[in-house]
Structure 1
Amino acid sequence: MNAETALHLLLVAGGALAVAALARRKGWPAPLLLVLAGLLVSPLLPVVPLDPELVLFVFLPPLLYSAAIESSYLRLRDVTRAVALLSIGLVLFTTLIVGWVTHLLLPELPLAAAFALGAIIAPPDAVAAVAVGRRLGLPRRLLTILIGESLFNDATALTVYRVAIGALVGGGVDLFDGILEFVYAAAGGIAIGLALAWLFGRLLAMCHDSLVENTIMLLIPFAAYLAAELVHASGVISVVLVGLYLGHRMYLQGFGTRLLSAGVWRVTNFFLETIVFALIGLQLLPILEGVAASERDILQVTLYAVVIFVVTVVARFAWVFPATYLPSAVFKSSFRPPPQNVVVLGWAGMRGVVSLAAAFAIPEEVADRDLLLFLSFTTVIATLLVQGLSFPALIRRLRVSSAGEEYEDTLAEAAAQEAARDAGLRVLDRVIELEGEPDELQASVFDQVREKSERRALTAWERLGGGTAAGGSETPSALYRRVRLMMLDAERATLVRLRDERRIDDEVLRRMMAELDFEEAILER
């Protein structure tokens, strides 16, 4: 990379951050606004190529890891079947349908190239959908399914893509070898991910330094991805498993690590997503120039693009409805989501930068590379703009919301606060018992500690509109700090136990842990 290219990237980053800042200020979906801005300014700027290696080895690992550590392993476990049907079944189904239709439209295109196109546009990127869904209050289960799908579907798509490109370049398709490679990539990614998760967990436990721990965590996604890719296993699965494991066990780290980690990954995620979606829009001009150079009829190619976009959308609906209701009927499940939730899930099929990176990674020697690039790009852009811009209106029209979940969370938080308070007060009582009858100054400190614990336990009840407030040699501040830190440890242990017993959700745990962490940070000062 020369200085001129670096300057262009810096200008793109600065402009993208300005657009993202405007989107946040106005409450608009930033990914969609960034794509639109990229499309509009693409003819005015020098070409800023989307390097597939930059996306797959620099952008993708931290984005996957960030999403994984913020996800709930327990909630994902509850929707394992739905996530598997989408991240594996739907990707394969979309690859076959899009590949078959592409071959019908372009019979001169090799079958392997048609299936490569199918694999390229098969995996949705849920970033835009989840951002809109969270803002509009989609049900938690639906958001979990979307997040789980986006975490694992890239692994399936990239493996199928490698098989198709190998067949295209090599000149033959061996179905058995393709299945074997798919199984090896998945199994290898799982094995490496689990091994590295245990290893990194032990390493972080030995650090006891929030700055060092967070610096290590910045390197973890790249290490997990490269370790798997070096042996031709799935780097995506490896990164996701490490992220889920460490995110689930984040409570074992120090309070400073958790507080710093939240800020580090929010900034990293925001920056990378901003650049990625801006780069998607900026690819318009080079892709149009490539199609023009191929001397194909632009109107005919545009018609092909529309057909493939429609087929991609229809294929998702054709899979989602049977995959939702047939297993429930076969296994006699009592959970049957309302149809409007399934419609929202079907419409949340926006594609992203992984699809474009895979398209740009098509070898130069492939004869119809420019056409495949154009069809991939138009599908990505159409899903982002058509589905993405209409997604909020669809959610409001169908009245899909998480009404009731917020009340249930607050109720669970109130009960958990009481349990945590009781655990902390038992520690306080033991301290008083061991240290004997307190003098007047010590008694005042103990009363302050007790009052603070009681006060915090009432905050959730107050939000619900119910409950009423409960009526030596150490300095008072040192005594308060020592005793309160002992109580905080007991409260944290209780909250984690309640999470593991499924009495509170991970989001409730994180919120309550953050309160305790901030209090401990103040005490440490």
Structure 2
Amino acid sequence: MEAIQALWLLAVPVAALAVAAFARRAGLSAPLILVIAGLLVSFVPDVPHFELDPELVLFFFLPPLLFTAAWESSYVNLRQNSGTIGVLSVGLVLFTTVAVGYAAHLMIPGLPLAAAFALGAIVAPPDAVAAVSVARRLGLPRRVVTILVGESLFNDATALTAFRVAVAAAAGAGFTMLDGLERFALTTVLGCAVGLLLGPPMHWLRSRLRDPVVENAVTLVAPFAAYLIAEVLHASGVIAVVVSGLYLGHRAAESAAATRLIGRSFWKVMIFILESVVFLLIGLQLPLVVDGLSGYDWTELAWWAAAVFVLVVAVRFLWVFPTFYLGVWLSPSVRRKEQGVDWRGRVVISWAGMRGVVSLAAAFAIPFTTDDGRPFPGRDLILFLTFTTVLATLLVQGLTFPALIRRLGIAGHREQYMDTVTEAGAQHAAAKAALERLEEVLAQESAPVDETVVERLRQLAEHRQLKAWERLGGGTGPEGEEVPTATYRRLRREMLSAERRVFVQMRDQRRIDDEVLDRVLNELDLEEAALSRA
């Protein structure tokens, strides 16, 4: 029996990776396909129930997902858009909590206001994983993507704090609104302090290890350490993870090249696995959600689920547009910043409100009983409405999100062109500095340097100067002919493939050892990675 259970546990990540790989190969949104696959599998007879453990999600899945998103985010861009991000990640979450809570309390007979507020806090924070993946693939303007990423980084802290306050009030702990605001302020400040206190020592340690593997192992520990330390201190673990990730990501350029190469590949694989498993698990929760609804009328359930979903979507529109115009009217600095987001960008931001695993984890974390031993009011119903809201936002908004972007014609092609222009200018300046430094070093050499070595170094610097400029033409010249750098990359790849075949053949003939093969293949792979960068 234990062996069969172990096989089922293994089947979840294997199936998640297989479905995600199919979605990526077909050019589809992997999170949406995974949720649909989980739903379909949940209808198969004899498939066991996979309950989403809230502690597992909040400690094992959430920290690395948030940490990586923060690491890859631009601290400069987030700071420039901090006002808009704060209005969404704090103001919108609280507004959604209150609006959905009051509506659910009035709409559902017998649901106490505190429990209804718990539902509002649960469904308040969007998960931008699906939205951002589509946004980047379709080339949305950078500022829109920055706002969506920034909101998703910080809104979980607001929602989880509001959720804990509402659950405590519903369970009989006697929390008030003022208590909630004080707790939110305290946990946020302490979370920021933990992240800021943990980031510099982690960076100091990484910079002195001089071992790429160990340095990345330290980075792997960082999100879990930040979250655990913050939670032990009753601070916001989410904020601590985000702040430490932003700090370490901002200082990542000071690491060695090998550290960055290994880390980039490692985190891509890690996040791919975690996201795949999480979204598959969302779909697999259907049987557990339905089991506790025997006492409800399905017509009423369908009406309540539709009403909560529509309200969640409408509240986001009602918040995004008025707050934008209010900010522009009140502040000239906001007016200048908001020039990069027109009405189309605000429509995209408003529609990108897909909910995710944090909402489900919070719903499963609702206690079964109150402080006096009575069943927690409406727990099964809250779990059902959370599941239907997550599912509806992922499927309805997620499936229509790409079409909306194309229909609005908001893709940032001009921005991508300007990025290439500025990159070309930066490459030119850097190559010039490299050539000047080469001449300085050559003048200080005590012995003459082989001219072929010097010439090769000069050609490499000139190649970097030309590469970005030629990319402006899409790799072709004015008459459609292949530019020199494109020719160089194509021919060099053919040479690298030939070299690999020889090395593998020599290994198969026992003329070189596998360790030798690994070393030489690594050198060829690094060179091909540099070629593929173009």
TM-score, normalization by structure 1: 0.87
- 1:406 is the counterpart of 2:406: no
Which of the numbers 441, 464, 471 marks the counterpart of 1:463? 471
Q: CA 1:345/1:21 → structure 2, altered by over 3 Å: closer, same or farther?
A: same
Is residue 2:454 matched to residue 1:446?
Answer: yes
- Aligned partner of 2:292 among 290, 293, 301: 290
Deviation track 1:150-192 (CA, whole Å, cap 9, x = no partner) reads 0000000000101111111125342221111111110110111
Matched, 1:340 2:344: yes
2:227 aligned to 225, 228, 245, which one? 225
Q: Is the 8 A contact 2:115 2:377 kept in 1?
A: no
Aligned to 1:419: 429
Per-residue deviation, residues 267-305 of structure 1 (Å, max 9, x unmatched): 00000000000000000111111112xx11111011011
Q: Report 1:494-505 matches (<5 A).
A: none
Alpha-carbon distance in structure 2 between the residues aligned to 1:5 and 1:83: 44
Alignment partner for residue 236 of structure 1, among 232, 235, 238?
238
CA distance in 2, matches of 1:434, 1:173: 72
Partner of residue 276, structure 2: 274
Pick from 70, 79, 82 the counterpart of residue 80 of structure 1: 82
* Structure 2 residue identity aligned to 1:380: V
Instruction: Determine helix, strand or coil for the equivalent of 2:134.
Output: helix
Cα RMSD, aligned residues only: 2.0
Deviations 1:49-104 (A, max 9, x none): 11111100100001111111111111111110110000000000000000010000
2:115–2:167 Cα contact (<8 Å) kept: yes
Instruction: Tell me how far apart the structure 2 counterparts of residues 270 and 29 of structure 1 sit (CA, whole Å).
Output: 13
Corresponding residue number in structure 2 for 1:207: 209
State the shift of 1:437 in Å: 7.7
Cα distance in 1 between the residues matched to 2:114 and 2:139: 42
In the TM superposition, what whole-angstrom CA distance separates every residue of 1:376-433 from its partner, at most 9, and x where no partner exists?
A: 1000000000000011111111111112111111111111111111111111101221
C-alpha deviation, 1:521, in angstroms: 10
Q: How does 1:96-495 map to 2 (within 5 A)?
A: 96-170=98-172, 172-292=174-294, 295-332=295-332, 333-334=335-336, 335-336=338-339, 337-365=341-369, 366-435=376-445, 438=448, 442-465=450-473
Give the 3 Å change call, closer, same or farther, for CA 264–422 of structure 1 in structure 2: same
- Aligned residue for 1:507? none
Q: Is the 8 A contact 1:56 1:357 kept in 2?
A: yes
Q: For the Cα contact (< 8 Å) 2:428–2:464, is it kept in 1?
A: no
> Structure 1: how far apart are the matches of 2:216 and 2:125?
30
Q: Quote the Cα distance in structure 2 between the aligned partners of 1:448 and 1:59.
A: 48
Q: Which runs of 5+ in 2 are unaligned?
A: 370-375, 486-524
| Shift in Å, 1:325 | 2.0
Alpha-carbon deviations, 1:223-245, whole Å to 9, x = none?
A: 00000001111000000011010
CA distance in structure 1 between the aligned counterparts of 2:24 and 2:126, rounded to whole angstroms:
23
Aligned to 2:12: 12
C-alpha distance in 1 between matches for 2:56 and 2:210:
33
Give the AA of the match of 1:438: P
Q: Which amino acid aligns with 1:112?
A: A
My pick for the range that moved more, 396-405 or 260-269, is 396-405
d(CA) in 2 for partners of 1:291, 1:4: 29
For residues 445 and 222 of structure 2, the distance between their equivalents in structure 1, rounded to whole angstroms, comes to: 46
Separation (CA, whole Å) in 1 of partners of 2:199 and 2:109:
47
* 2:413 counterpart SS class: coil
Contact 1:458 1:469 in 2 (8 A): no
Distance in 2 separating the partners of 1:71 and 1:235: 19
3-state SS, counterpart of residue 124 of structure 1? coil
Name the counterpart of 2:499.
Answer: none
Q: Quote the offset at 1:367 in angstroms.
A: 3.2
In structure 2, relative to structure 1, the CA distance for the partners of 1:223 and 1:285 (3 Å cut) is same
Matches of 2:418 and 2:297, distance apart in 1: 58
Native 8 Å contact 1:97 1:118 kept in 2: yes
Higher alpha-carbon deviation: 197-206 or 209-218: 197-206
Q: Percent identity?
A: 55
Contact between 2:37 and 2:280, CA under 8 Å: does it hold in 1? Answer: yes
SS of 2:48's equivalent in the other structure is coil
Say which SS state the counterpart of residue 171 (structure 2) adopts. Answer: helix
Q: After superposition, give the CA deviation of every residue in 1:238-262 in whole Å (9 maximum; x if it has no partner).
A: 0001101000100111111100000
More displaced 10-residue stretch of structure 1: 346-355 or 130-139: 130-139
- Partner SS state of residue 170, structure 1: coil
> How far apart in 1 are the matches of 2:162 and 2:447?
72
Change (3 A) 1:2 1:141: farther
TM-score, reference length from structure 2: 0.86
In the superposition, relative to structure 1, how do residues 300 and 520 fare at CA in structure 2: closer, same or farther (>3 Å)? closer
The alpha-carbon distance between structure 1 residues 163 and 4, as it changes in their structure 2 partners (threshold 3 A), is farther
The answer (yes or no) to whether the contact 1:224–1:242 under 8 Å persists in 2 is yes
| Alignment check: 8 A CA contact 1:309 1:382 kept | yes
* Cα distance between partner residues in 2 of 1:207 and 1:6: 38
**TM-superposition CA deviations, 1:333-365 (whole Å, max 9, x none):** 233321111101100000000000000000011
Task: Check the 8 A contact 1:8/1:48 in 2, yes or no.
Answer: no
Q: What one-letter code is carried by the residue in structure 2 that aligns with 1:373?
A: L
Distance 1:6 1:228, change over 3 A: farther
- Give the CA deviation at 1:331: 0.6
* CA distance 1:183–1:91, change in 2 (3 Å): same
CA distance in structure 2 between the partners assigned to 1:437 and 1:352 by the alignment: 64
Alpha-carbon distance change, 100 to 436 in structure 1, aligned in 2, over 3 angstroms: same
